Chains A and B, each alone.
Chain A
Amino acid sequence: MAAAPNEKAVRQRILATEREPLRVRIYVNVALILVGAFFLFPIAWMLILSFKSQVQITSMPPDLFSSFTLENYRSVLNIGVTYSTAAKASLMEIKSNEFLQGLFNTAVVAFFSVAISALVGIPAAYGLSRYKNALKDQLAFTFLSFRFVPQLLVIIPLYLIYQRIGLYGTYFGIIWASSLVSIPFVVWITRSYMDDIPTEIEEAALMDGHTRRDVFFRIILPLAKPGIAASIIISFIAVWNNFTFGFVLATTRLQPVTVKILSFYDITDLNYGRIAAAMMLATLPMILVSQVAAKYLVSGMSMGAVRK
């Protein structure tokens, strides 16, 4: 058999002939830089503020690039900061503990919501993708419609129901409500990935003698991995960012970090740097997760398996 044609070389040649002229590429890149700057500006601004003293921030114009300080982080985490009065010191210690408790609460809620969403949503996506059912599309749409309803619209009835059935102020209650946010992401994104997996591949596996369960675990799950990863990241971010459910359905002890950050707004002392530091700490997990998982967002796994 002749050596397979060098696919890489062929592809490069195609790319070379299809490459846009220089002028177009400059426009495209300038546009990309502008969009990138637009989205990164708030994070960059927050990052800079979090390393600045209150005086530097409030002077006009703000002094952004001279000296930096870790004071804000130390005060948020309550590490070796001295305050003018003992009262102030104990107040800040309480705030710091509250903040860390909030981070922990958010982590718990996000972890379990996403875990439940994956356990429920991935099999649901498979079913919706593969099995014929008269109600299939209505069902899928119902999942999606959870996303249409403004949370503020349902939060009051949900609050009343939760109080009555004893879910108010429990982790389970918040996780349950948050799952309603994350399940639709998992179902819809994963389903569209599974729709792209040719049924013949599954049929081949059945003919190999694999059970339905094995086909799901050996063939479908690995092939849908990019979609599953993407949906988990997106739903993780959605749950992590959620404010409404935590604000209304949780007692002080269980409030998530999004709510706890509010306690740094304070009549006696509006310290922008400290708030920025707290926000950075609260945002960091999301930034890390999305960067680590970015490679899974690339599709194209099933290329070359089936002749189209």
Chain B
Amino acid sequence: MSSTIALSRIWKRFGPKVALADVSFEVQPGEFFVLIGPSGAGKTTTLRVVAGLESPSSGEVRFGDRLMNDVPPQARKARMAFENYSLYPHLSVRENLASPLVAGKANKREVAERIERIAAMLGLQSLLDRAPRELSGGQRQRVSLGRALIVESSVLLLDEPLAHLDARIRHELRAKFHDLKSFLSRGAVIYVTHDYLEALSLADRIGVLVAGSVQQIGTPEDVYYRPANVTVAQLVGQPAINLVKADLVRSGGELCVDLGVARLPVPGALVQPLEASGRPRVTLGIRPQYWNLSRTPPPDPRGWIEARVGLYEIRNYKGVIRADRDGSSWLALTDSYGDTVEGGPIWLQPQWERALVFDDQGNRVVSSVATPGRSAHGNS
């Protein structure tokens, strides 16, 4: 039993408020699809529409060929883990885990076997006879996950399963999800998170949802290196991408971007696509790790922005520099800690092959030429 989850043209309104605006995507059997977006973007609503806990105002939900709009949640055979765990407070961990099996009228031996298996997988063996209120947050999370996984299903919905947990347990459980991916080989998984690192590390494909509408659907590489627009670019990456408004100008036969504080000549490979876009005003997107930095005046100052180090701190083993110049500021990451001094001079140059260019509507017009491996997802 395996089926594609397909949402087509889903709208959901709560009174005058539009929660989902024309959301469409498909998740294939065996695919781990991560929905990412800021809080209030409609991620959970999307999940609830798939689960049948909310019915869409318009649009269709299909599992395989079957239209599910009028199928009640208990008949959809989708499994779901809730953000707030939603364990049954009056039942033990064992009984919580058994709930889907009891509903499916499994016999006693099967129930015992499956509980044993899932408890071993999630490390819950010693907790089976406890009540939910006697568990820590991470333990409740695992019980909730176990309850969702104890019966195989072609549709698995996970709502922020790692939110609200402390960093160490997050890490532990995120690793578990990598194991789970093989366990779940045949099911289609929709995983909701606001954490782009989770998304990048777990997803086969990512859907980016902002203010109820889908901004982009693509692989983690697509979303990180080829974001569809500035919204996506800002959502993914920490510290956030530098967005710099600039004008395209011709100066001495060369194509330049004019940042106001500096005029940078554009290297050959970018000239053609930039000219073809025909837009005089663009937004440059430069991730903090994609600057060339110099603490001493570069031999050829053309193409460099001269600035001062306004703020410098070490965050997650990286030096984070805020470079200021005439009221503008840019963030840059550096691996060499020692030689940066707050208040000292610094020169920055975009690594053009990795710079993103957006038009004045915020849509990307030119992609970076190179796409390095997945190891370069900013700092974690």
Contact = CB atoms under 8 A, between A and B. Distances in A.
B74 A207 contact: yes
A62 interface: no
B255 to A, nearest CB: 54
Interface stretch (B27-35, B61-69, B87-95, B358-366): B87-95
Contacts of A308: 84
A1 B78 contact: no
A208, A223, A305, A306 interface centre (most CB from chain B within 10 Å): A208
Contact of A204 (B78, B86, B90, B102): B86
B74 A203 contact: no
A1 B139 contact: yes
Interface string B134-175: 111111000000010001000000000000100001001000
A303 B83 CA distance: 17
A205 interface: yes
Give the interface size bracket for A toward B. Answer: 20 to 34
A306 B132 CA distance: 9
Given A1-B123, A1-B138, A4-B139, A205 B88 contact: yes
Interface in B92-115: 99-100, 102-104
B89 A304 contact: yes
A208 B86 contact: no
Interface in A257-308: 301-308
A203 B100 contact: no
Interface string A69-84: 0000000000000000
A244 interface: no
B103 A203 contact: no
Contacts of B132: 304-305
A127 B90 CA distance: 22
A64 to B, nearest CB: 49
Interface of A: 1, 4-5, 7, 198, 200-201, 203-212, 214, 219, 222-223, 301-308
Contact of B85 (A301, A302, A305): A305
A301 B90 contact: yes
Given A203-B73, A212-B74, A304-B132, 8 more contacts: A201-B88, A204-B80, A206-B53, A207-B79, A209-B74, A210-B102, A305-B132, A308-B84
B103 A4 contact: no
20 contacts: A1-B136, A4-B134, A5-B136, A201-B87, A203-B51, A204-B87, A206-B73, A207-B78, A207-B79, A208-B100, A208-B103, A212-B74, A219-B88, A301-B89, A301-B90, A304-B133, A305-B89, A305-B132, A307-B84, A307-B164
Contacts of A214: 103
Given A303-B133, A305-B132, A200 B123 contact: no
A207 B84 contact: no
Leading 10 A-B pairs by shortest Cβ distance: A304-B133, A305-B89, A209-B103, A204-B86, A307-B84, A200-B86, A208-B100, A4-B136, A207-B80, A210-B103
Interface residue SS majority, chain A:
loop
B99 A205 contact: yes
B177 interface: no
B281 interface: no
B77 interface: yes
A204 B82 contact: yes
Contacts of B73: 203, 206-207
Contacts of A198: 84, 86
B84 A200 contact: yes
A198, A200, A207, A307 interface centre (most CB from chain B within 10 Å): A207
A86 B111 CA distance: 74
B78 A305 contact: no
Contacts of B88: 201, 204-205, 219, 305
Contacts of A207: 51, 53, 73-74, 78-80
A251 B79 CA distance: 61
Nearest to A205: B99
A302 B51 CA distance: 24
A4 B166 CA distance: 13
